[in-house]
Structure 1
Amino acid sequence: MSNLKVAVVGVGSMGSMALWQLAKAGVEAVGFEQYGLAHERSAAGGESRMFRTAYMEGADYVPMLKAARCLWQELEAETGQSLLTLNGALMIGPKSDERIANVIKSVEEFDIDHEVLDSTEAMERYPQHWLEPDEIAVLDREGGVIRPEMAVFTAAERAVELGAQLLENSHVDSISETESGVRISADGIDYEFDKVIVTAGPWTARVFPQFSNYLVPRKIVMTWYLSKRLGDYSPENFPAFGRVGGEIHTFGIPALEGTMTKIGSVATFGDVEIPEDLHRDVELTELGAINREVARCHPGLKSTPSRISVHMDAYTVDEHALVGPVSSSGNVFVLGGYSGHGFKLAPVMGEIAKDLATTGATSHSIAHLSPERFAN
C-alpha cells in the first residue's frame, strides 16, 4: 500500500477525514483545497452540528452512525481535541409521522440507548420545548453535538502529522484519466496519482457534470436566539434536537459558548447557480417560518435571531449522498451531495473513501448511496 498515491480534491467535511484515514493507512495522500482550511463557504461552517443515531432519514444509516461515533472518539484520542459532546439528542414530532417512525425503528432495531416521552413527560423534563398533545420526544442518549470547523482542521492537521501533503489555496482545473492512473492539473501544475477522491461539496456537479440534473448547491441559513435564562440552554440541560410536524422541520443546538442557542431550519433558501457567488444577505421575510416556530415551540427564547450566518451544501433529488466510483477504471471516486445531513457521518465516510481507494470495496453498507442510481 505504501506505493499507492491518492489525491483528495476538497479538504472539507469529507475530504479532511479521507485525508486522515489515508495517511493513517500509510498511503501517500495529497489534499487539494481551493480555499483555506476549515473555511466558511460550504457546509462545514456554523460552529456546531447535531450528532444523532436515532435517524429520521432511515435506519439504513444507523450502523454507519455508530461507526462514525467511534471514529470521532478515535480522532479525539489521537489529537487531544474535544470535538464530540454526547449530551443526548431529542427527536420530536407526531408519532404518526414517517420520520418519527424511522426514529423508533432505528432505536429498536439497533438497540440504541433511548427513552420515549409523551408530550406531557417531555415538557416536564424539558420545559424549553412546547409539544402538541399528539407529539412525542425520543431521547437518543447516544447523540449530541459536533464542532465542525474544529473537526475539519483537526483531521487535516492530523493527516499532515501522519505524512499527508495539504495544498491550500490550490485550485484544481481538471481531472483526467490516463493509461496509468489519474492526472490533476492545479494552478498550471500537473500531478499524477493512482486514485482520486473528489469531496468537493457544493462544487461536485461542476467536477461531474453528468450529475447536474440530480445535484444542486443550495443556500443554508443558520440562526441563533437569545434567552434571559441561558443556563436552561446549556449542554447539561438542553440536548440537541430535531423536530418535524410543524410549519417547517427545525433543529437546535445548546448554547455551547454560554451566549446564544442555535435553532435552525432544515429548509434551504434557494439554489446557488455559482458557488463562488453565494449571496450572503438574508431578508427578514426569509426568516418568517423559523421565527414562528421558535415563538410557538420555545417560550424561553426571543423569537427573532440575534445572529445569522449563511452557508451552502449540495443536495441530491432524493437527499441521499453520492458515494462510490464514477469511472469505468475505478480510479475516480465521489463523496458528495450529503443534502444537509452528512457532517455527523464524516469520519466513517473518510474510512469508506480510504477503503474504496485502497481495495475497491468497503465493509460499510453504501448500496443506497451508489452514484449509478443517477447514471445517464
Structure 2
Amino acid sequence: MIKHSTPAARVVDVAVVGVGTIGSMALWALSTARRRSASTLRVLGIEQYGTVHTHGAFTGESRLFRVAAKEGRHLTPALLEARTRWLELGRLAARDLLIPAGAIHIAPSGHPDLHAALSAAEEFDLPHRHFDADDLRRQYPQFAVDHGDEGFLDELAGVVRPESAVFAASRQAQADGAEVLYNTVVTSLSPTGTGVRIETSAGAVEAGHVIVTAGPWTARLVPGLSRMLTVANFALAWFMPADISAFLPARLPGFMRDFGDMHAFGAPSIDGFSVKVSPHLHLPTVANPARRPMTLSREQLRWLGTQAQRIFPSLDPEPVRWSVHPDSQSPDSRPIIDTIGEGRISIAAGMSGNGFKFAPVWGQALADLALTGASPWQDAEFTLAHHADPVG
C-alpha cells in the first residue's frame, strides 16, 4: 500500500489575508519594516483573486481623498499621515497616485458635515477656503448652486487612483521581500496556541500572526463578526459633459454635493472624456457578498442621470459607464481595527465606504499590531468592544 505524505505547511511570521485596499498597505508596511531593520521577517500575502481585480471595494478609477475630516477631529491627523504616505508610495512606484486637485463640499448653509470639516481645518491650521453662493458661482460655474448654498474647499485633498495604488503597494512589498499567493482561497483560520494555521486552496500555512483584510468576505473567515457587519453596495457612475475642459483636475476638484434629499460625491475627469458623479443610490445590504447586486436597472440609471445633471447641468444624463462595488459596513460606520485569538489575529473591517483614503495608515496600524501588539493609530472607537456596544 502506497502512503501519501501530507505536504508540510509553509511557515511564515506574518500572513496578510486579502491583499486589496488595506491588505496591500499592511503588506507594504510590514515589508518596509523588514527592509529597514534588515531582519529575516517572513511576510506572506494571500489573495483570492489577482493583483488588481474588479471584485473588491477599491476599484472604480478614483477615490476622493480628504484631509479635513468631517467624521471626527481625531481622524484628521491620520489623514495628514495618509497624505504623506500616498505621496511616498507614488514616488517609489513612479506613479501619480494622488492627484492634488483639492476637494470641495457644497451644501445648504449650516450643513453639519461641511461645518465639521471647516472646524477640523481651522483646528489643525489646514489650508482651505470658504465660499458663499456667489463665490461658488464665480469660482466653479460647472455646478448648479442654489441660493443659500455654501462651499468648503480642502486644499490638501484630491483624488487617489485606487487600482494603481493597490498595484504599487503590492509590488513594492514584494520588492522588499514579501511573498504573495494570488488566486488562492483561504478556507479557515485556526489559532494553535503558538500561532495560526491557515488552510488554503494551495495548502496550509502556519503563521505567527495573521492580518485579516478581506473586506466584504471578512465574516466568512471570522464568523463572530457576522452580527457586526453587513455587506453594503455602492454604485459609481460616469457622465459626459458638453465641455470636458471644465471638468479636468486643473479646473474641478474632487467634490461632495449635498441637497436636502440627496448626497453625491465624485472626481474630475481622469480619462479625458467623462466625469465621475456618484449620487448615493440606496442598494440593499447583504450578509453574503456572493448575493450582492451586480447590475443596475434602467430606472436606477435614469435616477443617477437625473441627479448628476442636477449637480452639473451640462452633463448628458445617460451614464457612459457604471459599476457596483461591495464593502463591509458597521452599524455606526466606524471601522473595526482590533485583535482576536489571544492577539494573534488582527482585523480591519467595516470600512463602510470610507476606508480607502485612510488605507496607508490603517495598513500601518495592522503592521504595528502584528509586530508589537500596539499602534498609535488604534482608537477606542475601532475596537470590537465598541462595536459590540456602540453606545456604551
| 1:52–1:125 CA distance, 2 compared to 1 (3 A) | same
Q: Could you give the per-residue CA deviations for residues 187-245 of structure 1, whole angstroms, max 9, x where no partner exists? A: 16221111111000011122222221221112221100101200000000010001223
- Equivalent AA in structure 2 for residue 331 of structure 1: R
Deviates more, 1:42-51 or 1:366-375: 366-375
1:103-136, Cα deviation, whole Å (9 max, x unpaired): 1111111111100000110111000111222221
Q: Does 1:320 align with 2:328?
A: no
Counterpart mapping for 1:229-268 below 5 A: 229-268=243-282
Alignment of 1:63-102 (within 5 A): 63-102=77-116
**Is the Cα–Cα contact under 8 Å of residues 248 and 289 in structure 1 kept in the other structure?**
no
**Percent of residue pairs identical:** 36
What is the Cα-based RMSD across aligned positions, in Å? 1.6
2:16/2:27 contact within 8 Å kept? yes
Distance 1:117 1:370 in 2: 38
- Deviations 1:47-78 (CA, angstroms, capped at 9, x unpaired): 11011112232222111000000011111122
Q: 1:282-307, CA deviations, whole angstroms, 9 ceiling, x for partnerless residues?
A: 10222354333222221121123121
Q: Hey, what's the Cα distance between the residues in 1 that align with 2:90 and 2:309?
A: 37
| Counterpart for residue 8 of structure 2 | none
Q: 2:173, 2:82 → 1: CA distance? A: 17
State the AA in 2 paired with 1:17: M
1:116 aligned residue (130, 138, 145) = 130
For residues 287-366 of structure 1, the aligned pairs below 5 Å read 287-327=301-341, 329-366=342-379
Choose which of 13, 19, 22 in structure 1 pairs with 2:30: 22
Which structure 1 segments of 5+ residues have no match?
none
Deviations 1:333-371 (A, max 9, x none): 101110001101111111111111111111225222112
Does 1:47 find its partner at 2:72? no
Deviates more, 1:24-33 or 1:208-217: 208-217
Counterpart AA for 1:236: A
Instruction: State whether structure 2 residue 15 is matched by structure 1 residue 7.
Output: yes
Deviation per CA, 1:67-90, whole angstroms, max 9, x where unpaired?
Answer: 000011111122212100111100
Alignment-mate amino acid for residue 343 of structure 2:
G
Give the conservation status (yes or no) of the 8 Å contact 1:247–1:289.
Answer: no
Is residue 2:210 matched to residue 1:189?
A: no
- Quick one: distance in 2 between partners of 1:198 and 1:123? 46
Q: Which residue of 1 aligns with 2:231?
A: 217
Equivalent residues of 1:183, 1:190 under 8 A apart: yes
List 4+ stretches of structure 1 deviating above 6 A: none
Name 1:146's counterpart in structure 2.
Answer: 160
Opposite residue 27 of structure 2, the aligned amino acid is L
Q: Does the 8 Å CA contact 1:47/1:149 hold for their aligned counterparts?
A: yes
Normalised TM-score (structure 2)? 0.91
Which stretch shifts more, 145-154 or 52-61? 52-61
* CA–CA distance in structure 1, aligned partners of residues 120 and 59 of structure 2: 28
In structure 2, runs of 5+ residues without a counterpart are 1-10, 35-40
In structure 1, distance between residues paired with 2:317 and 2:132: 25
What residue is the counterpart of 1:370 in the other structure?
Answer: 383
CA distance in 1, matches of 2:322, 2:279: 12
Instruction: Give me the whole-angstrom Cα distance separating, in 1, the residues matched to 2:234 and 2:338.
Output: 26
Q: Is the 8 A contact 2:240 2:273 kept in 1?
A: yes
Which whole-Å deviations, capped at 9, do the CAs of 1:26-67 have from their partners, x for residues lacking one? 132100100111211111110110111122322221110000
8 A Cα contact 2:12 2:44, kept in partner: no
Aligned length: 373
SS of residue in 2 equivalent to 1:166: strand
1:85–1:144 Cα contact (<8 Å) kept: yes
Counterpart of 2:4?
A: none
Counterpart for residue 5 of structure 2? none
CA distance in 2: counterparts of 1:295 and 1:78, whole angstroms: 39
Q: Distance in 1 between matches of 2:259 and 2:379?
A: 29
User: How many Å apart are 1:175 and its aligned residue?
Assistant: 0.4
Q: Which one has the largest radius of gyration?
A: 2
Which residue does the alignment assign to 1:285?
299
The alignment partner of 1:104 has SS state of helix
Instruction: Calculate the TM-score normalised by the size of structure 1.
Output: 0.95
1:203 is matched with which residue: 217, 225, 249? 217
